[in-house]
Structure formats: structure tokens, C-alpha cells
């Protein structure tokens, strides 16, 4: 059982999150409101029905549910609503900084313009900063399945909107099987030319070869998930040597049957090997967990010490794409708050 004082420490310490999808974070109540606002018929009529509908058994089924959530988004006001909700959610969990994915391909297929999406994100981001003191930056995710030239176009649009909407980089998501990262090399080459940060989902539904592909073909700076790297000692050694962060979402991996239970998950083995591992939520309502739940579960399952918990939180700040001066400022605040909480909770 999780120590109550350690639980309080996790709740109250400043945190960051680097792996959360804007569209996948829409809460059931908001989803119902958006559907009503836009005349969208859903296969459920209340929050309980939504939670039941969110039950799935595979990544492909999850992606179908994700697409349904996206279908409720039509206007800039809709994107502003879900962005502001994410700011409120961050504040509730003590998350002071968040780097958030959004996947334009899901909206482009429905005829929603890039400008409509970006306008809403920008407005929600600014309101979240003003109302909750939460800083959010965005990563424009490229759907692995789209044509590579469409991937290049996504990069160009992201670069043009970087200041307006706080777009800090590009990522890669969606169906990992049959769609290797190298398909989108033209987009990543262009992103590198433009100075955008580069990340990619890899090593979740496919083994370590997927992580190698993202690292070697796309020259990514961070791997999203990456848990199956544990199956290749040479890859683990490389991740340690280069200190390439993994944005791990343990409870999401269990929901998607990547591992049978949390005890079998390699999150602690990767961390103990020296990999820079961070803890994240992925798509909170769809996986029935948030950042706090992931910290609680990992701490309880693996019997983490206070020092190990602190290490996971520090890793998340270290792995952000902020300027070093900003990282130092966040880490200083973290250290000061940690010292205060230790004194209060343990008399240290």
C-alpha cells in the first residue's frame, strides 16, 4: 500500500508532463457537450455510457475511439474548450508545464482547416496560462499512415504557426505496425532544417526495431513510449549513453496489453539501467488514469523510495524542450518545494 505521506508528496510536488494527446484528453462530460454543440450523434448518452464505450482491447480499436472523439471538434471554440480543460486538469494535478500532442490529420480528413485548429489552441493556451498559471507548448503529430508529402506539409504549417500557438516540435503517432518511421523521413529532414524539435512514438506496438528506426531514420531527440527497448541491451546502452528520454505511459501500456500487468512493466528496469525515463498519462480518460495515477501505481508496485520518485519528476523537467534557463528555474522551484514538503511530512 502506498505510504500516505509519499502520496501527499507526489500530489503536491510541481510536475511536468511530456506525453499527453489533446484530443485523447477530452473528458466524457466535455465530449457530450461538444457533440450537442455540433449536432454529432454519439453511441452513448451520458458519462457512464462514455466510460463504458472507452473500453477497448487493441490499439486499432483505441484509434477508432480516438477518431470518434475528434469528430466532435469543428470550430476554433471547440479546440479552445479542450485546451483550456487541459490547463485546468494540469493545475488540479500540480503540473506546471505540459508539452501536448495534437494530430491534424484527424481534423484535415473532416475538412477542418489548420487555421481553425491553431486559432483555438492558441486561445485556450493563453487562457490556461492566465487562469491556472499552467504553461503549455504543443507538438504537431504526424499520423504515420499519411502520405509522406502530407507529413512535410504538416511540418511547414507547424513552423509557420510556432509563435502563434506555441508549437515547439513535431511528432509521429498512430498505427505503428506496417508504417515504419522512415516513411516520414522527408518531414523530419525538413523539421530539422527549420529547427523544430523531433520526437516519435515507437517501441510500443512494435519491438526495439521500431525505436532504432526512429532514432536512425528521423534523428529524434525523444522517444514516446519506447518501453520495448528493454528487449535489446545494445539499444538500452545507446539510450543511456545519449540520455535520450523516454516518455513512458505505464498504465496506458497495461490497458493496451503491451504488458499483462504493471509488475511486468520495464519502467523501473529501464530507469535502473540509467535510461532517462519520465512518467506520463497518454490519453487520460480513455486509459482511466492521469499523471498522478501513474506516479501512484508505479511507486506502489515497485516500492519506490522518496529519492526515486524525485528522480522521475526531475527527469521530466530535464527532458522538456525548454531553454536551459527555464529548466533551471523549474528545477529550482521543484527543489525548494521538495525541501519544504520533506520538512513538513517527514521532519527532514
Among candidate residues 204, 216, 340, 344, the one labeled active-site is 204
Tell me which long-range contacts 62-69 makes (C-beta under 8 A, separation of at least 24).
62/256, 62/283, 62/286, 63/174, 63/175, 65/286, 66/21, 66/23, 66/24, 66/106, 66/283, 66/286, 67/106, 68/42, 68/43, 69/23, 69/24, 69/26, 69/31, 69/286
Please count the other Cβ atoms lying within 10 Å of the Cβ belonging to residue 204.
24
* Per-residue cell: 27: 473528458
Annotated active-site residue 204? The verdict is yes
- Edge-first strand listing for the sheet containing 135-143: 15-17, 95-103, 135-143, 167-173, 197-202, 222-225, 246-248, 277-279
Phi-psi region of 203 (alpha: psi -120 to 50; beta: other; left: phi over 0): left
DSSP state of 262: G
* Per-residue cell: 182: 522512415
Residues identified as active-site = 204
Amino acid at each position: 500500500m502506498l505510504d500516505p505521506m509519499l502520496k501527499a508528496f507526489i500530489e503536491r510536488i510541481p510536475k511536468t508532463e511530456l506525453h499527453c494527446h489533446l484530443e485523447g484528453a477530452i473528458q466524457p462530460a466535455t465530449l457530450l457537450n461538444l457533440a450537442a454543440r455540433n449536432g454529432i450523434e454519439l453511441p452513448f448518452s451520458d458519462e457512464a455510457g462514455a466510460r463504458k464505450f472507452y473500453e477497448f482491447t487493441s490499439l486499432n480499436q483505441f484509434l477508432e475511439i480516438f477518431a470518434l472523439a475528434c469528430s466532435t471538434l469543428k470550430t476554433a471554440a471547440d479546440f479552445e474548450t479542450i485546451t483550456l480543460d487541459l490547463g485546468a486538469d494540469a493545475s488540479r494535478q500540480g503540473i506546471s508545464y505540459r508539452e501536448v500532442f495534437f494530430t491534424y490529420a484527424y481534423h484535415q480528413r473532416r475538412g477542418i482547416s489548420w487555421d481553425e485548429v491553431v486559432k483555438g489552441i492558441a486561445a485556450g493556451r493563453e487562457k490556461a496560462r492566465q487562469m491556472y498559471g499552467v504553461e503549455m507548448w504543443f507538438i504537431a503529430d504526424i499520423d504515420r499512415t499519411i502520405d509522406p508529402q502530407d507529413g512535410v506539409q504538416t511540418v511547414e504549417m507547424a513552423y509557420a504557426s510556432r509563435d502563434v500557438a506555441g508549437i515547439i516540435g513535431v511528432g509521429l503517432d498512430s498505427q505503428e505496425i506496417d508504417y515504419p518511421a522512415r516513411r516520414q523521413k522527408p518531414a523530419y529532414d525538413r523539421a530539422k532544417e527549420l529547427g523544430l524539435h523531433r520526437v516519435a512514438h515507437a517501441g510500443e506496438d512494435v519491438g526495439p526495431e521500431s525505436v532504432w528506426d526512429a532514432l536512425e531514420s528521423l534523428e529524434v531527440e525523444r522517444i514516446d513510449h519506447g518501453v520495448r527497448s528493454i528487449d535489446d541491451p545494445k539499444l538500452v546502452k545507446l539510450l543511456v549513453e545519449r540520455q535520450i528520454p523516454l516518455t513512458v505511459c505505464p498504465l496506458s501500456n497495461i490497458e493496451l496489453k503491451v504488458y499483462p500487468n504493471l509488475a511486468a512493466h520495464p519502467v523501473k528496469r529501464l530507469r535502473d539501467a540509467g535510461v532517462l525515463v519520465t512518467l506520463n498519462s497518454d490519453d487520460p480518460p480513455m486509459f482511466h488514469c492521469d499523471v498522478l495515477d501513474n506516479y501512484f501505481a508505479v511507486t506502489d508496485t515497485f516500492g519506490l523510495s522518496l529519492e526515486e520518485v524525485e528522480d522521475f519528476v526531475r527527469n521530466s523537467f530535464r527532458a522538456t524542450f525548454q531553454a536551459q534557463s527555464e529548466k533551471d528555474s523549474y528545477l529550482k522551484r521543484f527543489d525548494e518545494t521538495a525541501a519544504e514538503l520533506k520538512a513538513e511530512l517527514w521532519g527532514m
